[in-house]
Structure 1
Amino acid sequence: MTGAEGVAAPRREQNDDSPLRGKVAIVTGAASGLGRATALRLAESGARVVVADLDARGGREVADLVGGHFRACDVSDLDANHALVEFTRETYGGVDIALLNAGVATGCGVGEDFSPALYRRAMGANLDGVVFGTHAVLPALRARGGGSIVATASLAGLAAVPLDPLYAANKHAVVGLARSLGPALAPENVRFNAVCPGFAESRIIDPLRGMLSEQGMPVIPAETVADTVVRILTGDGTGECWFIQPGREPEPFRFRNVPGPGVPVDA
């Protein structure tokens, strides 16, 4: 089947001058939304793409569009992440880029509506998927002499979200991981960054579309997020968390320094 495991489809028109040309990229959560848009951008930039998702139909359609390969993957399963990386290495000879994008809405809070199953599902996709994906892909990046990881966080990882504190919790964790792993992996020539969009075109915002429309709040096109990911991949920063908001140019968020120890006045 075209676009399925082991079979490549014709590619879209490519940018021969892109520094991403010839690079091998894994994109999780690539069957729709932000992952789909980024897989398309990467292919247009000349990268070879492995499309990973639990949605086999959507994933194969995207693989067809990018001339790449589809691999079913539950990112909350560590073994599945290892299998995805191994498939990519066997198919393309290595890995240069990983966009750890798969994510889900939380669906519950911490009060009477708390559901351990929904909580674990959200943490499994949104946080474990980044941790497991990073763990699995690092040996492949090291084997290439370095590479780049971009994790999809959210503006919810940079600000308080009283209406969905658990989603904010897992996205804050991804932001903390990016800020910490960026400098930690830099000596190995592995860059780790995060992208933090506001309300962007994806399945996650489906329950919110009515509210967003009533409030006149624009939805960020998925292509804007994809373009920002490409900017990150073709830059040289690491440990950065790029915010994306309507009407503003995407850029790394400038975190304030944590106050250091002070000397008591009456010491």
Structure 2
Amino acid sequence: MDVPGLDLRGKAALVTGGASGIGAAAVRRLAAAGAVVAVADRDEAAARALAAEVGGLALPGDVSDSDTMTMAVDVAEDAFGRLNIVLLNAGISGGQSGLEDLDLAAYRQIVGVNVDHVVFGLTAAVPALRRAGGGNIVATASLAGLVGMPGDALYTLTKHAVVGYVRSAGPTLAAEGIIVNAVCPGFADTPLIAGVKAQFAGFPLLTADDVAGAIASILERGQPGECWYVQPGREPGPYGFRGVPGPKGSPAPPDVAWQEH
């Protein structure tokens, strides 16, 4: 598969949740553009199969564990001699309303995978990207990180957390040449919705390749802290956030960009 415009020869990447769905499509897209890719996934057999397919490295493990994420970054950097791109893609759905009769174990699990793994992954990756002279971190969020999704409050909570984290981390790390972004796809035909796919009959769904293409666009021209929406039939692009009104008549405090006057 040729990837026009995206040249990653000489680059090394790590993709979490990389053995299926959006992650697998992204692994193939990065490898086709010339990158060597580490496939991190709890499904060891699938991770090894895809790594063998693209000539990469399989890293099985639980991404919600901080030691696992640190080890994944260290092993990938040691194996490839560098690390330039980190795609923090692993994610799960809520499986409950999150409004009553809370299943605490399931709640801890979704927060661990969808939020903790992004924080652990970014903090582990930053030193490696510094050693490489800069690079890219892309976290997979969701449209549920930009708007509320009735029926899955916990998933919405976790994806809003990812969006907020990226928007804050992006400007902070940009001066070091580390570009942090989020990709926020709508409903995609991936294993994440396999159990409820019948509910989407007649509804346009993204493919995993659509989202991988958006990730490629982010790597080409994404700006620090941008969160890119992806919807069927639309060109992906950065979501335009509206600023929060500041105190009436007051001057803007230094280094605070989120206020309007």
Cross-structure match for 1:6: none
Which residue does 1:220 correspond to in 2? 206
Q: Does 1:29 align with 2:2?
A: no
- Name the % identity: 49
**Aligned partner (choices 47, 50, 59) of residue 47 of structure 2:** 59
1:60-113: CA deviation from partner (whole Å, max 9, x where unpaired): 121122110101121110000111011111100110000000011111223344
TM-score between both structures, scaled by the size of structure 1: 0.90
1:258 equivalent in structure 2: 244
Contact 1:96 1:144 in 2 (8 A): yes
Deviations 1:128-166 (A, max 9, x none): 010000011111000111110000000000111120011
Q: Write the distance in 2 (CA, Å) between the matches of 1:236 and 1:217.
A: 29
Q: How many residues align?
A: 250
Unaligned runs of 5+ in 1: 1-12
What is the root-mean-square deviation of aligned Cα atoms in Å?
A: 1.6
What corresponds to 1:119 in structure 2? 107
CA 1:179–1:102: 2 relative to 1, 3 Å: same
Superposed displacement of residue 14, structure 1: 5.8
Query: Alpha carbons of 1:156 and 1:16: their partners in 2 closer, same or farther (altered >3 Å)?
Result: closer
Of stretches 155-164 and 254-263 in structure 1, the one that deviates more from structure 2 is 254-263
Q: Give the alignment of 1:135-174 within 5 angstroms.
A: 135-174=123-162
In the alignment, which residue of structure 2 is the partner of 1:19? 7
Give the structure 2 partner of residue 108 of structure 1. Answer: 96
Counterpart of 2:253 in structure 1 is none
Ranges of 4+ aligned residues in structure 1 off by more than 4 Å: 13-17
1:231 is matched by which residue type in structure 2? S
For 1:119 and 1:107, the matched residues in 2 are separated by: 9
Corresponding residue to 1:207 among 195, 199, 202: 195
Q: What TM-score, normalized by structure 2, do the two folds share? A: 0.92
- 2:251 corresponds to 1:242: no
